[in-house]
Structure 1
Amino acid sequence: MSGNSYREKGRAVFLAAIMVLSVVAMSAAFAGGAVASHGPTDAGPSYNADNVESFEDAWLGQEINLTGFSTDADAVQIREGAEVDSDADVVEEQRIDSDTGSAVIETDDLEERGYHINVVGDDNSSWDGHVFWGSTESLDIAFDRSSVQQDGATDISIESDRSDQHLNVTADGLDGEDLEDIFVNNGGWADSDTYEDDEDVLTLKNIGEDQEFSANFTDIDADDYEFDFETTDSLAEENASVEVIDDEADVSFIGDTSGEEGDLINVTVSMDYTDTGVVQIGDEDDDNFQTAVEFTDDSDDGFDEITLQYNTYSHNFTGENHGWSVHEAYEDDVTIEETNVSASPSQGNPLAAHDYEMVAGTEVDMDNSSVTDDGETDTDYFMVEEKSDFGDVTTQIAPADDELTGDDFEEATLTDSDTVADGDHLLLSIENFGHEGALSNHTDGDLSSADGQSLSTFFQDVGVNMTIEDPSPNADNELDLDDFTVSGTSLEDYDGDLVVALEYQGDDDFDTDQSYDLTYTVTEDNPFVSDEDEEVEIENEFTIEEGELSLDDANEEVPNSEDAEITGTTNAAPGSEVDTSVRASGTFTESEDVEVASDGTFTATYDFSEYDTGTEFTIEAENTDVDGEDEQDAVLVEAGQPDINIDTSAPGEVTVGDDASLDVTVSNDGGAAEEVEIGVDIADEPVASENVTLEPGDEWSESYDFDTSEAGDVSWGVTAGDESASGTLTVAEETPDDSGSEDSGSEDSGSEDSGSEDSGSDDDGESSDGTPGFGVAVAAIALLAAAMLALRRQD
């Protein structure tokens, strides 16, 4: 065959390849540029020249119909800018229909900004120069739950900038009738349309800017569904997903449910695929006790863990909610719908210690305080343990400035002590007091609300007496219990130890430098004390002292160092604040506030390094809460100097694989403390960096291992403040074996024939196995070449 035939065949193959590539490219372009549009669309709003001002905004994507143009008008232009400008860019232009005097403006290509109208041919048109704004409509749509049980329902919320609009809804796997069932027939929206020419679309009509209604999935198959929502006249669109699950609704107990007699006992359940749950405790026939609660969970997912509480103290068995409540952490989401009790202990008795059967479920017969057989989903035990023995009563003190109620109580500094400086807080901690349920009745969950008379009444109700007596001769012995207040935050943090504060300040019944006897009695009127022989009586005492504060004699000579210490002692409560000041007339005046330590000492640190020895000054210290103060004369003396030294130990040479380490010791051999920055490097890499305060005579030591896996020199260095040390460890190869060393074959190792020149690497190091730069164009040329070769071989 002639060469022309090859040329013609080659040309044919080339053109065919170009066509294939073009088709692929066009397909990709069409696929990427396609815009989905579902269901009917609205023409958009119309505005008349007689009411131009009503056209203020256009939602981008709308078709705007402008009417009322005169016969002189030829065209209408939309120009950029919120001010009339004859030179402004024209972004949209439409001819005016002379028969109707109207024009339709497309806003798809407009941006979110101001525009003005220019009427061509009629400068007197009401539309000429009118300004409007292009606005992007926000649309936010979400289901309240990410999943919903099959045949169940959940709410859907729609938020928009517009007060009235229509939304087309589609979802893969659902047709228009399914959608109508979900949102309209079984759901909560009444105004909608379906269309014969598009069976997969539902239009929700007249949706406002803030709507919420139910979506019901009765008879909808279990699956993941993504719903697409599009406004019928603008570019706004949104999607929302929900998973329809065919699992059964389930309410199950989580963890152990136990507590002592008289406590609030937590009942924690998980709720899967249901918003409503029921819990029953006890059996009337077996336990002479039975109660039930029905509750709803309003949180926004289908898998919730919530906690209820049951009050085992008697006062609430027949009161509001029959002893049931929602745990504080869940009060915002969980609501108790209904409760009942069919049998309960007699008034004055707590729920007895016993393991009561619990039943959880989804349906309840509240008249009988029971979960129905069909609604039962789980069982467990509600375990009430005997009240633990009453504990001791200890006295504690706290700084006068500390708050002892509310959330601030957790930050208060409490210290065990039987002596309080007049002005500080005095507290009594009653160990293992319990009675959590009774406290809940009196304080409504807020412990700090039990003060004065309410606390006195509470103690009387639970059979507790607390008396304070002045043991001195002829004293009016018994003091008023109304001087107590409960300290603490809430019952959520209550651990059974009741803390009460004695408000003795300003009370004429209490004197300073006086001891008082405290008697705490749990009488037989208490539900946990069966008779007089089991009554609990605990005696204690405390002393109220005048506030005291004194500076130490050691302050008479103070070193002129940068961290000179002024020290003292006080009987103010640890954590209290002491105000200190130093003053040398004409030289310095400084002050520092410090806290009292747990041992009653306080230390203030001053920088006197700028001042000469021999400078005389005055030290003052004061705690105004306990009226403690002291003053002292002092003089600056020569400060000792720190002396920082480094001691290192490291081998000079080792063999590959041997153990080797760098031992470092930094010492202060001087007469003053120093904060030292210590750094250690090995092989030019930092292995330690820290700041250490070394008192006179102190040492800091550490050891670091060398890496000896390879031969070579390993440098090391240590710095400590201005001091440094360095060295080098040599890691040597093992001594070679002399036998046969000359015949080791090193010259015949084949290194010259290793194939390095034929390895296929190109000049820039790229391996011939890779194909850098081998893209679509090169691939196409290769295909053409192969085709030409095939043709040539065929001929």
Structure 2
Amino acid sequence: MVFSVFAGTIALSGGAAAATATTWSTTSADNVAIGESSTTQELTVDFEIDNQGIENVTLDLSGYQDEIDVSSATASTDNTNVTVEDTNLDTANDEYTFDLNNSESSAQAGTLTIELTLDTTGASTNSGTSLTVTAEDAGSDGQFQFDVLNAGSDYDGVVSDDQTGNNSIVFAGETVVFDADSDEENGNEGDYVLRSGQPDGDNEPESTLSINQTTGVVNVDTSDLSTGSYYITNDGTDQADLIFEVIEMDFGAEFTDSTVGNLGAESNTTVEFTSDNRGGEAFSVYVTSDEFDDEELEDIFPSASDIDPAEEDGVEITGVNAGEEFDVTFAGYEAGNYSFDFTVADTSATAEDSIEVTETGEGAATFTNTSVTEEQGDIVEQTVELQGASNTASVVIGDLGDTGYQGNFTLLDDDDDGEVTFYFNTYTAGTAPDNEVVTLGEDTEFAEDGEFEEPQGLNDLLDTGDYDMYAMAGDQSNDYSEVLNSYDSVATIYLQERSTNSMTLWTASEETTLDSVDAISSAVEDDALTESQEIAMEDLMVHEVDATGLSGAFGVEESGVVTESFLDGLDTGAYNLTMEQENPAPNREAKTLNTSSLDDSSVTVIANAESDTYYIALDTQHIEFQRNGNTFSGDEVVGEEYTTVFSVQDPALLGMDREATPESDEYETVNSTVTFADREITFDEDPITVGAASEQTISGTTTVAPGSEISFRVSATEDTQPRFVKNADATVQADGTWSVTFDFSDQSVDDTFNVNARGAVPSTDMAGSVVESPTTDTPTEGTDTPSEGTETGTPSEGTATPSEGTATPSDGTDEPDEETTTTTTPGFGVAVALVALLAAAMLAGRRE
């Protein structure tokens, strides 16, 4: 079978603007013909772009050979909701840039088409050339692949499994197939000749070709041909029935490790097959070795199959893509140096590599962390590394004779990566088999007969103190005393007394994502999560609880969302979360939070396992309060103050016997108070005044959470002409303030307008007007400024302002007090205010 070769690739990249993400998938590209002063190449790629965002796209053209010039470029999509904007062909920097703009509120998919006009008059054919595009930002890359061919040739690629297309590129070793029966001019009459070179240039006969009389085809074995251009003809040296080019397939094979063991995980490695010019076409590889027979090769290369069971001719790995790795294992084979030959099945390309196999020792098990400090009730995470032959590790926690507690189990490395991970729950320790005490990490299992066991039970939490952990390679589940006596590694758990420490109240917009510890940290850094004891309805109310020793009860092995475990703990009574109204109306009971109505739509709980901190985020839109069987929510609790109490009630966590029933005054509690507010916005001015200038600021405050987005629309009112509409958005700051800036330079004094606020706040209007923004020359340097009440010369009758040469006050005139404050109108500066004071003094003198 003949395969066409990619002679070049162009990679398309997208850099995200406004946090937009785009993914590329299926691509296609026209081939490029040389010798053309103007030829068009079309590139297409399927894409998906996030909702309402702009994606910056860069097509890097620097990979074209220098003799190919790009004279123009266009881009378009077949999705009317995604437009191409701000296109720019920068030939000096060899790149074509544009924006993909998704105007919809949902992700959009479609096909992007790029058309490039090329001048290829000085270009030459090439193969295996990589034309790449680099990403502007951390966007995704799409690859366009194509050939650069002779001018005027019709590139058909591979027409079928049995026929080579005209102007195909074939690898040395492939068989070229020409259907002589399809020869339109003279069928299969006459002898066909294989010639090297070009029909319109220098050429030489290579061989006479025979036609298969049954199939009517001519076959050309390229194994012995040199690289270069060839054609088949029976019409003379200057006529070609089929043109093709022979190239060598670039091929390499290399083991990932130069040395491996011969037992357990240490016997495993991979082999990688590479090719720079095979493109995306899969191929098969034959594997042979003088040291191993076919059955052994199948065992060493699990992905391979015997080529011919009747012959010792090697094994075949199918479906190989360039850059792909395949598993290799030498488990059970003798130590030594071994060589392997690799051959591409449909070409003559070969490679070889060798590897050293060493004798693997019996093995050892080692704790990665030899010292772990936790509080009673918390979960201890530990990883055991396996060296040598063993893929199991036996572990003992504690020593019944020394600490009064012991837990035994044996772990199996399920994926042979050389390590196993477990989590030891100090809250449930001593309660097996009724409760899980040890849970396992990914790709770790209990060995057969190695599940966790405890020789004794406990009525309360593990005492504070030091507990040694012992690890030993191999399965010692029949006798764990062997682990205590002959362990490979020892680590210590330092168990400290637990405590319930504090509660802090935070607020955030409902739009704020709080689904991980990192998200919470980012929200705090961005002032999108701020401390507050006043929460606007519909915002998030986040209670930060600092308490050690709860991860076992919560089932928190790692940081993350633990909402389900939190709700389970509320049901079992291990802890509780209450909210009770302060100062209810006379003769009324207090309203309380209906905790039974909490679910994952009204509460999200994030655990930070490292800091023993829990973030309980309540959505004030969905929580309910109750009193005497009646339910209250939303506006029905606005203006009311509540006290939130988180209480630890589990007797074991309180240091009691597990069967004890603690009194309420024995609970460990932390609390905070909150007042529910309406969603309101206020303006700093009523009415609003702005100057007829740019950069005019409108500001105010709001009760909604910092980070919320408020949209503002300013529109002309009354008889204002011309009419105008201006839009802007504001983000609520950490102190509850907001501000927006508008350009009023095209408006006139006395124009009136309305400001409408909406979005995170209820629709609210405020009237406004444009006022005069006078400018006055600054007094000359050295002129004394009169203080309030200073007498000045009276201007002549009808004079509005002092004429040039008006006498200045005498040296004895009082200077204004340095701490005098002035109030300015928007657009009025300090100098203008001083001139106004001078005019007022002169007017006072005139009236006297």
Cα drift, residue 456 of structure 1: 6.1
Partner of 2:580: 468
Q: Does 1:620 find its partner at 2:755?
A: yes
Q: 2:654 corresponds to which letter in structure 1?
A: F
Return the match for 1:432 from 522, 547, 567.
547
Q: Does 1:522 find its partner at 2:633?
A: no
- Taking the aligned partners of 1:581 and 1:550, their CA distance within structure 2 comes to 15
- Taking the aligned partners of 2:444 and 2:205, their CA distance within structure 1 comes to 55
Q: 1:622 corresponds to which letter in structure 2?
A: A
Q: Does 1:253 find its partner at 2:367?
A: yes
- Taking the aligned partners of 1:96 and 1:306, their CA distance within structure 2 comes to 65
Q: Does 1:324 find its partner at 2:442?
A: no
Return the match for 1:392 from 490, 502, 510.
502
Q: 2:407 corresponds to which letter in structure 1?
A: Q
Cα drift, residue 279 of structure 1: 5.3
- In the alignment, is the contact (CA less than 8 A) between 1:360 and 1:371 conserved in 2? no
- In the alignment, is the contact (CA less than 8 A) between 1:59 and 1:234 conserved in 2? no
Partner of 2:79: none
- In the alignment, is the contact (CA less than 8 A) between 1:282 and 1:358 conserved in 2? yes
Cα drift, residue 345 of structure 1: 6.7
- In the alignment, is the contact (CA less than 8 A) between 2:284 and 2:344 conserved in 1? no
- Taking the aligned partners of 1:641 and 1:366, their CA distance within structure 2 comes to 95
Q: Does 1:342 find its partner at 2:487?
A: no
Q: What is the TM-score of this pair, normalised by structure 2?
A: 0.54
- Taking the aligned partners of 2:444 and 2:393, their CA distance within structure 1 comes to 12
Partner of 2:738: 602
- Taking the aligned partners of 1:642 and 1:427, their CA distance within structure 2 comes to 56
- Taking the aligned partners of 1:156 and 1:640, their CA distance within structure 2 comes to 79
Q: Do the aligned partners of residues 393 and 183 (structure 1) sit closer, same or farther apart at CA in structure 2, a change above 3 Å counting?
A: same
Partner of 2:287: 167
Matches within 5 A, 1:112-123: 117-118=232-233
The C-alpha deviation readout for 1:708-745, integer Å capped at 9, x for no partner, is xxxxxxxxxxxxxxxxxxxxxxxxxxxxxxxxxxxxxx
- Taking the aligned partners of 2:776 and 2:385, their CA distance within structure 1 comes to 67
Which SS does the other structure have where 1:499 is aligned?
Answer: strand
- Taking the aligned partners of 2:406 and 2:179, their CA distance within structure 1 comes to 82
Return the match for 1:380 from 479, 491, 497.
491
Partner of 2:843: none
- In the alignment, is the contact (CA less than 8 A) between 2:578 and 2:644 conserved in 1? yes
Cα drift, residue 436 of structure 1: 1.4
- Taking the aligned partners of 1:414 and 1:313, their CA distance within structure 2 comes to 32
Q: 1:525 corresponds to which letter in structure 2?
A: P
Q: Does 1:93 find its partner at 2:207?
A: yes
Q: Does 1:148 find its partner at 2:256?
A: no
Partner of 1:290: 407
- In the alignment, is the contact (CA less than 8 A) between 1:434 and 1:497 conserved in 2? no
Q: Do the aligned partners of residues 93 and 62 (structure 1) sit closer, same or farther apart at CA in structure 2, a change above 3 Å counting?
A: same
Partner of 1:355: 466
Q: Do the aligned partners of residues 483 and 562 (structure 1) sit closer, same or farther apart at CA in structure 2, a change above 3 Å counting?
A: farther
Cα drift, residue 144 of structure 1: 6.3
Q: Do the aligned partners of residues 457 and 268 (structure 1) sit closer, same or farther apart at CA in structure 2, a change above 3 Å counting?
A: closer
Cα drift, residue 551 of structure 1: 0.6
Partner of 1:482: 596
Cα drift, residue 491 of structure 1: 4.9
Q: Do the aligned partners of residues 554 and 76 (structure 1) sit closer, same or farther apart at CA in structure 2, a change above 3 Å counting?
A: same
The C-alpha deviation readout for 1:738-759, integer Å capped at 9, x for no partner, is xxxxxxxxxxxxxxxxxxxxxx
- In the alignment, is the contact (CA less than 8 A) between 1:61 and 1:233 conserved in 2? no
Q: Do the aligned partners of residues 234 and 308 (structure 1) sit closer, same or farther apart at CA in structure 2, a change above 3 Å counting?
A: same
Q: Does 1:513 find its partner at 2:643?
A: no
Matches within 5 A, 1:438-449: 438-440=553-555, 447=561, 449=563
The C-alpha deviation readout for 1:258-303, integer Å capped at 9, x for no partner, is 3222223221344556683525133344342213341427487xxx
Cα drift, residue 317 of structure 1: 4.5
Q: Do the aligned partners of residues 625 and 595 (structure 1) sit closer, same or farther apart at CA in structure 2, a change above 3 Å counting?
A: closer
Cα drift, residue 119 of structure 1: 6.3
Cα drift, residue 552 of structure 1: 0.6
* 5+ long unaligned stretches in structure 1: 1-51, 122-127, 170-175, 195-201, 644-670, 673-694, 698-795
- In the alignment, is the contact (CA less than 8 A) between 2:538 and 2:619 conserved in 1? no
- In the alignment, is the contact (CA less than 8 A) between 1:183 and 1:214 conserved in 2? no
The C-alpha deviation readout for 1:453-486, integer Å capped at 9, x for no partner, is x716535341435342464133343431134457
Partner of 1:575: 707
- Taking the aligned partners of 2:738 and 2:702, their CA distance within structure 1 comes to 8
Q: Do the aligned partners of residues 76 and 286 (structure 1) sit closer, same or farther apart at CA in structure 2, a change above 3 Å counting?
A: farther
- Taking the aligned partners of 1:379 and 1:602, their CA distance within structure 2 comes to 59
- Taking the aligned partners of 1:135 and 1:537, their CA distance within structure 2 comes to 78
- In the alignment, is the contact (CA less than 8 A) between 1:181 and 1:216 conserved in 2? no
Partner of 2:669: 537
Partner of 1:563: 695
- Taking the aligned partners of 1:92 and 1:284, their CA distance within structure 2 comes to 88
Return the match for 2:728 from 586, 592, 597.
592
- In the alignment, is the contact (CA less than 8 A) between 2:606 and 2:614 conserved in 1? no
Q: 2:645 corresponds to which letter in structure 1?
A: T
Cα drift, residue 357 of structure 1: 1.9
Cα drift, residue 365 of structure 1: 1.7
Q: What is the TM-score of this pair, normalised by structure 1?
A: 0.57
Tell me the C-alpha RMSD between the 2 structures: 5.3
- In the alignment, is the contact (CA less than 8 A) between 2:648 and 2:668 conserved in 1? yes
- In the alignment, is the contact (CA less than 8 A) between 2:471 and 2:483 conserved in 1? no
Which SS does the other structure have where 1:482 is aligned?
Answer: helix
- Taking the aligned partners of 1:696 and 1:309, their CA distance within structure 2 comes to 69
Return the match for 2:330 from 216, 239, 246.
216
Q: 1:460 corresponds to which letter in structure 2?
A: T
- Taking the aligned partners of 1:382 and 1:548, their CA distance within structure 2 comes to 53
Cα drift, residue 314 of structure 1: 0.9
Q: Do the aligned partners of residues 591 and 63 (structure 1) sit closer, same or farther apart at CA in structure 2, a change above 3 Å counting?
A: closer
Q: 1:558 corresponds to which letter in structure 2?
A: V
Partner of 2:139: none
The C-alpha deviation readout for 1:122-147, integer Å capped at 9, x for no partner, is xxxxxx96899979768675546564
Cα drift, residue 569 of structure 1: 0.9
Cα drift, residue 538 of structure 1: 3.8
- In the alignment, is the contact (CA less than 8 A) between 2:366 and 2:489 conserved in 1? yes
Partner of 1:235: 348
Q: 2:711 corresponds to which letter in structure 1?
A: D
Which SS does the other structure have where 1:520 is aligned?
Answer: strand
Q: Do the aligned partners of residues 166 and 577 (structure 1) sit closer, same or farther apart at CA in structure 2, a change above 3 Å counting?
A: closer
- Taking the aligned partners of 2:482 and 2:693, their CA distance within structure 1 comes to 78
Cα drift, residue 568 of structure 1: 0.3
Q: 1:627 corresponds to which letter in structure 2?
A: P
The C-alpha deviation readout for 1:151-189, integer Å capped at 9, x for no partner, is 5522545779677664344xxxxxx23687973687756
Q: Bigger radius of gyration, 1 or 2?
A: 1
- Taking the aligned partners of 1:374 and 1:358, their CA distance within structure 2 comes to 12
Partner of 2:46: none
- In the alignment, is the contact (CA less than 8 A) between 2:687 and 2:766 conserved in 1? no
Return the match for 1:423 from 538, 556, 559.
538
- In the alignment, is the contact (CA less than 8 A) between 2:536 and 2:703 conserved in 1? yes
Q: Do the aligned partners of residues 104 and 505 (structure 1) sit closer, same or farther apart at CA in structure 2, a change above 3 Å counting?
A: closer
Q: Does 1:633 find its partner at 2:768?
A: yes
- Taking the aligned partners of 1:447 and 1:354, their CA distance within structure 2 comes to 30
- In the alignment, is the contact (CA less than 8 A) between 1:279 and 1:371 conserved in 2? no
Partner of 1:10: none
